[in-house]
Amino acid sequence: MARRGENIYERKDGRFEGRYIKGYDINGKAIIGYIYGRSYKEAKEKLAFAKAQVEHERSKPPSEMYISEWFEKWLSTQKHIKKSSYSVYSSLIKRHIVKRLGKLRLCNITKDNLQDFVDSLAQKFQPSYVRTIYTVLRLGLEAAEDRNLVNDICKKIKLPKLKLKEVIVFSKQEQKDIEKYLENSEKPNDIGILICLYTGIRIGELCALTWDNIDLSRGIISVTKTLYRAKTSKGKKKTELIITSPKSDSSIREIPLPKFLIDKLSGIENKSGFLINRKGKFIEPTVYARRFKAILEECNIRNVKFHTTRHTFATRALEIGMDIKTLSEILGHASPTITLNTYSHSLPEHKKKEMNRLGKMYNPSK
């Protein structure tokens, strides 16, 4: 039992343990520190010294904390985000934010500092990457603002304009050549490419699919998880494979299957475990992507990323007249606007066809 007001306890191993409040995290929760001594007297002295150090640190204005110190503290509280996002945050903070702004104190950072930081990044990197870095910086600084460590300095920062990415799509002939190859393939896992071409699911979502996600009686697949490789700090391994929920709530979805896919899936004998598998175990997305590349090479088709299957599905869907809202939900986009912005510029022939249909209304003789 501790002596009144001292927080020093005798442990079962005979040592004395002292506890004190080291500080508070950004959510206001107390962070407990521990000291140990062979005797009560030693523990009491160590505890007094530890408390004095804390008081010394508290005597400094909190806003004098360096940017590097604050972002280390802030990152340690981001346990609610996915491991992949945490890994990205950590990398961006270390490689860009701390490297350029780390030696600034929170009390001294200004909007000009932020704008100069963004402008310097824009000279080296793509607009989308600059915006990603700034998003992490803004989240950290807004957390500091919530604790009155900095003023509101994140508003009205001018960010580089995003450039529309070129959407690469298989031509109809290329798609036919791929499908012909898959039709004659003796490798069961190749059906995954057909599934992606006719549902638009991502490679990570495909590799995480289990037979529990496939309802052949209803003709539906449920996308509830994804498989990816993320950086890790555990042991000697630099990365680890993770199966988790998709990147957003909208990515959790049910997708109706075309009849020909239902028939093909029904013909598979072993309906347990992972749909795409090697000896019952899942196949890593990078490994499956290599198989995809090999098929393209055998079909004498240009070398493109696996994600081209998703773009091709979306483009074909628009070409046959699928409405944007339905397509957006199947793709797992957060809104139809994202679908429109991504694919509308990639359909010049479709636009021309629609304009010609409109032009047929012109008949001044009636």
**CATH number of the domain encompassing residue 116:** 1.10.150.130
Q: Is residue 158 part of a domain?
A: no
**Which of 128, 146, 164 is where one domain is finished?**
146
- Could you tell me if 213 and 259 lie in one domain? yes
**pLDDT given at position 249:** 79
Alpha helices in the chain (DSSP H): 40-58, 67-76, 83-92, 98-101, 111-122, 127-146, 172-184, 191-199, 203-208, 259-266, 285-298, 308-319, 324-331, 336-343, 348-359
**pLDDT given at position 25:** 54
CATH number at residue 335: 1.10.443.10
Q: Is residue 240 part of a domain?
A: no
DSSP single-letter state for residue 271: -
- Could you tell me if 321 and 216 lie in one domain? yes
- Could you tell me if 181 and 105 lie in one domain? no
Q: Is residue 248 part of a domain?
A: no
**pLDDT given at position 175:** 96
> Whole-model pTM above 0.85?
no
**pLDDT given at position 287:** 95
- Could you tell me if 284 and 330 lie in one domain? yes
- Could you tell me if 299 and 190 lie in one domain? yes
- Could you tell me if 106 and 48 lie in one domain? no
**pLDDT given at position 243:** 85
**Cα separations in angstroms, 263 against 52, 193, 202, 210, 260:** 74, 16, 22, 17, 5
- Could you tell me if 104 and 129 lie in one domain? yes
**pLDDT given at position 262:** 95
Q: Is residue 154 part of a domain?
A: no
The answer to whether residues 309 and 206 touch, using CB atoms and an 8 Å cutoff, is no
Closest CA to 314 of 201, 180, 179, 178: 201
In the chain, count of helices (H) and strands (E)? 15, 10
Q: Is residue 153 part of a domain?
A: no
- Could you tell me if 301 and 329 lie in one domain? yes
Closest CA to 243 of 208, 278, 268: 208
Distance CA 362, CA 171 (A): 33
Reduced to 3 states (helix: H, G, I; strand: E, B; else coil), residue 277 is strand
- Could you tell me if 307 and 185 lie in one domain? yes
Q: Is residue 42 part of a domain?
A: yes
Q: Is residue 202 part of a domain?
A: yes
Report the greatest alpha carbon distance in the chain.
Answer: 108
- Could you tell me if 52 and 93 lie in one domain? no
Q: Is residue 231 part of a domain?
A: no
Range of the domain at 112: 67-146
**Which of 97, 112, 146 is where one domain is finished?**
146
- Could you tell me if 77 and 202 lie in one domain? no
Reduced to 3 states (helix: H, G, I; strand: E, B; else coil), residue 8 is strand
**Which of 59, 77, 94 is where one domain is finished?**
59
Distance CA 75, CA 87 (A): 10
| Half-sphere exposure for 160 (CA within 13 Å, toward CB) | 22
Distance CA 114, CA 351 (A): 42
Q: What is the pLDDT along the chain (366 residues), one digit of tens a residue?
A: 555 557 888 888 989 999 998 776 545 567 788 999 999 999 999 999 998 887 776 655 556 788 999 999 899 888 777 777 888 899 999 999 999 999 988 888 888 899 999 999 999 999 989 999 999 999 999 998 888 888 888 888 999 988 777 789 999 999 999 999 999 999 999 999 999 999 999 999 999 999 999 999 999 999 999 998 877 665 567 778 888 887 677 889 999 999 999 999 999 988 889 999 998 899 999 999 999 999 999 999 999 999 999 999 999 998 888 888 999 999 999 898 888 888 876 666 667 777 887 888 877 776
Domain count, the chain: 3
- Could you tell me if 52 and 76 lie in one domain? no
